[in-house]
Amino acid sequence: MEITYNFDIESLGESTFDSPLGLSNIKGDNIHNFVDENYRILYNIKLSAYKERLKKGLEPISMLKAGPREKVFFKPEDTTAAIVTCGGLCPGLNNVIRDIVMTLYYHYGVKSIYGIPYGYEGLSKDSPHKFVELTPDEVKDIHEFGGTILGSSRGGHEPSVMVDKLVEHNVDILFTIGGDGTLKGANAIGEEIERRGLKISVVGIPKTIDNDIDIIDQSFGFESAFGMATPILRDAHNEATGAFNGIAIVKLMGRDSGFIAASAALSNPVVNFVLVPEMDFRLKGKNGLVNLMRERLKSQHHAVIVVAEGAGQHLFENKSTVKDASGNIKHQDIGSFLQKKLKKELSDLKPTIKYIDPSYIIRSAAANSTDSVFCTKLAYHAVHGAMSGKTKMVVGKVNGYYVYLPISEVTKKRKKIDLEGDFWFSVVQSTGQPFTIG
């Protein structure tokens, strides 16, 4: 059964001002011109799905193509924009901030641009953090560094209070850079704005190294993150092979989805076992992790295990219900748990077990070249959409095209690894592990 989506994008009203970009309106896919509002991209690109929709008398599901519009909603010289970064750090945050500022300032002539310090906390009623002015001189070199110059925080605040703060600063456009929780907060802000009848655009740029934002091909920072993890796996392999019956356990980020762990293992095929949240692996039994490790050590005398932070939580007797400020359950340390369990269960083989947790080093790194380009394009398209008055939307890449999507659709569920899919099959082929552990 095909999943039904509503990809209609909300708008603040009719765009009446001429765009200052001065592009051509000549039609053609290979010409960089203004994008027509009727230009849409198919969501499901399978021919069979297309025919099935037509057979039922339904139009194929499509998404609005991102890009500059010939008419804009906001008069550039009278527009005030603000940028906020929320949630955990991620490679590319500073890139997106920089490119939003540069596009607004130089391409559209928007001179009033603010940075909101420390996430949504900066929009709270009694926040001690003041808005900071962002200019090209202020942001020109920030892409060279990881983290975010604006600071970040987890958790939201009352939408009415945050909208009051936006009104107080005469903000016309709010750019929110963050993951699932941030985007849900942005949508709530957008709904409060709509209830008041205000003309403030809210645009999200999806960020998470876990790559768990639904619908979009990939979120920025993800490629940099697993790229940073790749040499760590190489060194972990060196540690494992440096001792007789050596084991290296590397824990990577991935609260609900194991894309970083799986992708890093694919990029450096020295990994023997990948454990992700999507699989309920077992320790005991003929095909359990302990027995598989025993066979591995007897034949090869070393092993490398990569485990996502959210994997194996079902193995803990006292399951944690503590949540962080974003409402995410704080997982127990699966890496330390596996180190202790394997040391005990394999004691007769006298293994040397090294546990490596590079999580915060990976997420605070600067973006690599590919992610830098990706961040730039996301920022450009976010500004184009915002200036044309679109709101409660995110910009993302789907099927190779940059498109605009409603926040409400991408936050319905988290994207996860399909254990029956081609990607996971590639991981299993690379590691040699069985499809089911347990």
Query: Catalytic positions, please?
Result: 210
Confirm if 180 and 409 have CB atoms less than 8 A apart: no
Using alpha carbons, list the distances in angstroms from residue 111 to 78, 240, 303.
Answer: 9, 55, 56
d(CA 95, CA 378): 10
Residue burial 257-285, b: 16+ Cβ < 10 Å; e: rest: bbbbbbbbbbbbebbbbbbbbbbebbbee
For every residue of 27-50, DSSP letters joined together read: --TTS-BPPPTT-EEES---HHHH
**228: its two tokens:** 């940073």
d(CA 284, CA 13): 61
User: How many Å is the Cα radius of gyration of the chain?
Assistant: 24
d(CA 435, CA 420): 9
**139: its two tokens:** 């942001």
For every residue of 392-422, DSSP letters joined together read: SEEEEEETTEEEEEEHHHHTSSB----TTSH
d(CA 294, CA 420): 27
Residue 6: strand, helix, or coil: coil
Alpha carbon 19 to its chain centroid, in Å, reads 30
Looking only at the bridges linking them, the beta strands covering 40-42 and 62-65 are antiparallel
Residue 299: strand, helix, or coil: helix
Half-sphere exposure of 348 (CA within 13 A, CB side): 7
d(CA 410, CA 176): 14
311-315 long-range contacts, Cβ below 8 Å, gap at least 24?
Answer: 311/254, 311/258, 311/261, 311/275, 311/276, 311/277, 311/279, 311/281, 312/275, 312/281, 312/337, 312/338, 313/277, 314/280, 315/283
